[in-house]
Chain A
């Protein structure tokens, strides 16, 4: 089983460019999440989804957009990249609400905006 797969693993963007971080899970999980982790810091929730067609903002949503057209995929879109978006991005999924369920993480995407 692949679990949660993120692509690309590394990316360098110039200021003002846009890109989409891909996330796919094969566990048929309804819930999916995007986090960012700045160097030496903890993870912060950007957006999450409770099912296809349903998304909601997390703690740090500014500068990002998401969509959830299928159960498997949850892409994260960066528009007009800024140096403050230099970070490691993790996608995760869970079977149900995190109050009772485990979340499984992808390997991460390391993004530098220069």
Chain B
């Protein structure tokens, strides 16, 4: 029942945009987004609550459509520092948190 992310991996040149999708087979109340760099702990980016809201964090924003049980993360004008693995996550059962399958993002000069 782990959320599924797409694409699995993406390579961008600096300045290009990317979209990462997160889908669940179960109803979602909220979605978290994290970025993890190699050898480090996940770092929280944002949380979206149901209501179709969008949130932004510098040039990174996200949307959440609870009816479609989906969330998307938008990275605009990518920078080298955006490289890492992005995970969505959500509470699916009781208070159990499930991370998504992950998307590896590499930004090259």
Give me the interface of A with B, judged by CB distance under 8 Å: 31, 33, 35, 41-45, 48, 50, 56, 58-59, 90, 97-108
Contact = CB atoms under 8 A, between A and B. Distances in A.
Interface of B: 2, 29-30, 32, 40-44, 47, 49, 87, 91, 94-102
A99 B91 contact: yes
A44 B91 contact: no
A110 B47 CA distance: 28
Contacts of A44: 99
Given A42-B99, A43-B87, A98-B32, A106 B47 contact: no
Contacts of A97: 91, 95
Contact of B42 (A41, A43, A58): A43
B96 A45 contact: yes
A104 B102 contact: no
Contacts, number: 56
A41 B47 CA distance: 22
B47 A48 contact: no
B95 A48 contact: yes
Contacts of A100: 30, 47, 49
A50 B91 CA distance: 14
**Which A-B residue pairs are the 3 nearest by beta carbons?**
A105-B41, A42-B99, A43-B99
B91 A103 contact: no
A105 B87 CA distance: 14
A48 B101 CA distance: 21
5 contacts: A35-B99, A42-B87, A42-B102, A43-B99, A105-B41
A78 to B, nearest CB: 20
B29 to A, nearest CB: 5
Given A42-B102, A99-B30, A33 B97 contact: yes
A16 B96 CA distance: 29
Contacts of A58: 96
Given A48-B95, A56-B95, A42 B44 contact: no
